[in-house]
Amino acid sequence: MKKLFILSIFALACGAVFAQQPQQRQQQPQQDVRNDKIGVGMTPTMSEYWAPKPPVVTPGNQATAGAPSDAIVLFDGTEKSMTDNWVTVNMRTNEAAPAKWIVKDGAMTVNKDVRNGGGNIQTKENFGSFQLHIEWCVPEMGPEFTSQIRGNSGVYLQNMYEVQVLDCYNNDTYVNGMTGSIYKQTPPLANAMRKPGEWNVFDIIYEAPVFNENGTYKVRPYVTVIQNGVLLQNHTEILGTTEYIGFPQVKAHGDGPILLQNHGDPSPSISFRNIWIRKL
């Protein structure tokens, strides 16, 4: 009887203790263990550094989107800048010849007559990672030109990866072939086209790939594309070459030129102007 009485008293005591625990836990203040010691014993100067200083770059004319002081001007509206910086390369023989696009009123227009110096043009200089500014205009044309047969061109990064140029103003086509797409890979985030006859602006930030010894990607290429102030590609991973037929291929390469495409379709030729590049 005495043992039963003692056990009963012990059970009541334990019940009282456990009944109090939730209330005690609620009364304890919560502590943020991530921040309770940050900055203890520090001064502001301990997290500051003053060197190396970034280089001073003078911005270009804001009204004309002029080239900044450290940029390479690839086309300034003159015949000389076209011949100094661009060539036409024969796709069969890989031989380079002077670029013969039509220069007029500060712009160069695609020459589609391949028998008379027309064709794709590419920069004489090769580039790795870069920031590229380029302006382009699709002329007004009739409704018979639709989908991909309407102001088609492209900006090729390192002559390998195409950022699509096309008139997508009230013109329907497959989404991974729209303006600003990584051609046949990634559609743009928006359709930011201006009307035919008005100038469009591309600002492209490109990160060149790194390859393993066996020719596979160690780091794939990435690109950001802004058209007319609207983000189209946000640090987009490029999967490989941008093929018209088939899927991306991995081809090891080094620095390469910027190529502007003569698509060869029957629609009126598009024009380019104010092209500059900054090496990164």
Q: What is the pLDDT of residue 4?
A: 44
Query: Which whole-number Å values give the CA distances from 4 to 18, 160, 227, 270, in the listed order?
Result: 21, 88, 86, 100
Q: How confident is the model at residue 93 (pLDDT cuts 50, 70, 90)?
A: confident
Which is nearest to 75 in space by CA: 271, 270, 280?
Answer: 271
Say if CB 230 and CB 190 are below 8 A apart.
Answer: yes
| Residue whose entry in the numeric block shows the structure tokens 């520090």 | 42
Average pLDDT on 70-74 reads 98
CB contact at 8 A, 216 and 250: yes
Could you give the count of Cα atoms lying within 13 Å of 52 in the half-sphere of its Cβ? 3
What's the confidence (pLDDT) of residue 113?
A: 87
What's the CATH code, domain 72-279? 2.60.120.560
- pLDDT of 103 over the 70 cut: yes
User: Could you give the residue ranges of the DSSP H alpha helices within the chain?
Assistant: 2-27, 79-85
DSSP state of 204: E
Residues in contact with 195: Cβ distance below 8 Å, sequence separation at least 6, in sequence order: 169
Among candidate residues 277, 265, 243, 244, the one with its CA nearest the CA of residue 167? 265
How many whole angstroms separate alpha carbon 74 and alpha carbon 85?
Answer: 6
Give the pLDDT confidence of 159-192 residue by residue, as tens digits: 999 999 999 999 999 999 999 999 999 999 999 9
Under DSSP, is residue 104 helix (H, G, I), strand (E, B) or coil? strand
pTM, to two decimals = 0.85
Banded model confidence at residue 29, pLDDT cuts 50, 70, 90: low
- Using pLDDT thresholds of 50, 70 and 90, give the confidence band for residue 3: very low
Residue type, 243: E
DSSP state of 80: H
Which residue ranges make up each domain of the chain? 72-279
The Cα angle at residue 217 between residues 211 and 223, in degrees rounded to 5: 100
Cα(213)–Cα(218) distance, rounded to whole angstroms? 9
